[in-house]
Amino acid sequence: MGDVKNYIENHREDFDKGILTKENIVKNPFDFFNQWLNDAIEQEVKEPYAFHLATSVDGIPQNRVLYLRGLEEEGYIFYTNYDGNKGNELAKNPNVSMNFFWAELERQVRITGVAQKVDEKISDEYFASRPRKSQLGAWASQQSKELDDYSLLEERLEMFDKKFKENVPRPPHWGGYIVTPKSFEFWQGRPSRLHDRFLYEQNDSEWIIKRLNP
């Protein structure tokens, strides 16, 4: 415990991989995000599509890591179990925050927006593209509910494997959400913690850009 405590209190890394200025930022935040995501893919950042999704109900925040699985002109798509904690929270409060952090590039993007379910056809098409075991897992898992014994989950998986001998249909309780952004914040690490931060806020059809203190 002592070594861990000492490490987290004293370990320091500085940032020196990039600079953001008013001259080199992209005016459209969707294009800017796509550019940074592409940079992360080209630089072979591990799981560049991973992000933290924050929800809040009754003033209690919840956070978890998900995978981005769709880029649309109006927003960003992820998939989940509608009956799990996440789905129940989104039903009560669709306002969310997404956070992408690419440590290798010393970059972060925070997005706030509103989540809503995608059209069933979109969920059907994505579900059909998943590996069979992942499809069966969506049926077998009663997400977020207590599991007394892991073998019970394995038994349910085997049951659905026998039930769906060929194609596995999408469960009605599983599908996608699209987050329509209301704001973006682009963060580039800089030396001495004097980071670059640019906030994009939506004002009708315009995006107002502000530089923030680090």
- State both tokens at 61: 């925040």
Please count the residues of the chain.
214
The answer as to whether 167 is a domain residue is no
pLDDT above 80 for 1: no
Do the strands 50-57 and 95-102 form a parallel or antiparallel pair, or are they unpaired? antiparallel
Which CATH number is 73's domain given?
A: 2.30.110.10
The answer as to whether 159 is a domain residue is no
The answer as to whether 165 is a domain residue is no
Asked if residues 106 and 100 have their Cβ atoms less than 8 Å apart, the reply is: no
Q: Which of 164, 47, 52, 179 is nearest to 104 (CA)?
A: 47
Count: domains in the chain? 1
The answer as to whether 27 is a domain residue is yes
Q: What is the mean pLDDT of residues 7-19?
A: 91
SS (H, E, C) 104-155: HHCEEEEEEEEEEECCHHHHHHHHHHCCHHHHHHHHHCCCCCCCCCHHHHHH
The answer as to whether 142 is a domain residue is no
The answer as to whether 30 is a domain residue is yes
The answer as to whether 152 is a domain residue is no
The answer as to whether 81 is a domain residue is yes
pLDDT above 90 for 8: no
Task: Give the domain extent around 48.
Answer: 13-131+172-212
Would you give the end-to-end CA distance of the chain in angstroms?
32
0.85 surpassed by pTM: yes
Could you give the CA distance from residue 87 to residue 193 in angstroms, rounded to a whole number?
37
| Structure confidence by residue, pLDDT tens digits, 101-118 | 999 999 999 999 999 999
Query: Looking at the annotation, which residues are catalytic?
Result: 193
